[in-house]
Structure 1
Amino acid sequence: MTLTKSRIIDSVQEETGLPRKRCDELVEELLEIIKETLANGENLMVSGFGKFCVKEKKARKGRNPATGDDLMLDERKVVTFKCSQGLREKINGS
């Protein structure tokens, strides 16, 4: 099952007892801070959770899978995630 933004808001509401509208605002603001940080090319580290890194990919040759035609893929930025040791242990049940 996928964790949705709505379920996150519900969980925050249950844990804090705040009104749903306020929890919605808090979650939206947190996500906006995360997006702005990554859009500025900055890395984001959440202690005990992991690190989001912005990596630059160079332009490269690619192939259209539908037609088989060669093409050039533009350089771009991608976000990668490396989980913390604590999260890794929790996932693996250690």
Structure 2
Amino acid sequence: MAQKPMTKTQLVAALAEEMGADKKTAAAAIDAVSAIVTKEVAAGGAVTLPGIGKIYCRERPVRMVRNPATGETIKKDADKQVKVTVAKALKDSVNG
């Protein structure tokens, strides 16, 4: 059975312990990293988190999609999608 994902509270506690700092500092660090990644990816850039992966935005063109309920084909406008490429080091640590 799969474990539940780590919550932000658990992540803050683990980061505070790893850094040897208090939880308030760890929470501020997580919030700062999150804000930087969000701002950079929203502007069309990419962020590489060493050992974790690369987060970037990909533009999808206008395309035809099918409504599964009715079978009707409709035109879907161009949009953007956030993608994550996992680093080889993380893949190897999980599989090895």
TM-score, normalised by the number of residues in structure 1 = 0.85
Q: Kindly report the root-mean-square deviation, in angstroms, between the aligned alpha carbons of the 2 structures.
A: 1.5
The residue aligned with 1:31 is: 34
Query: Does the residue aligned with 1:66 lie in a helix, a strand or coil?
Result: coil
The residue aligned with 2:49 is: 46
Q: What residue identity is the alignment partner of 1:31?
A: S
Query: Where do 5+ consecutive residues of structure 1 fail to align?
Result: none
Q: Alpha-carbon deviations, 1:1-41, whole Å to 9, x = none?
A: 21222221111112223222222111111101110010010
Query: Where do 5+ consecutive residues of structure 2 fail to align?
Result: none
1:82 to 82, 85, 90: 85
Q: What residue identity is the alignment partner of 2:68?
A: P
Query: Does the residue aligned with 1:2 lie in a helix, a strand or coil?
Result: coil
TM-score, normalised by the number of residues in structure 2 = 0.83
| Number of residue pairs aligned between Structure 1 and Structure 2 | 93
Identity of aligned residues (%): 28
The residue aligned with 1:6 is: 9
Aligned structure 1 segments of 4 or more residues deviating by more than 6 angstroms: none
Q: Alpha-carbon deviations, 1:45-93, whole Å to 9, x = none?
A: 1222221221110011112223332221111111222222211211111
1:58 corresponds to 2:61: yes
Query: Does the residue aligned with 2:6 lie in a helix, a strand or coil?
Result: coil
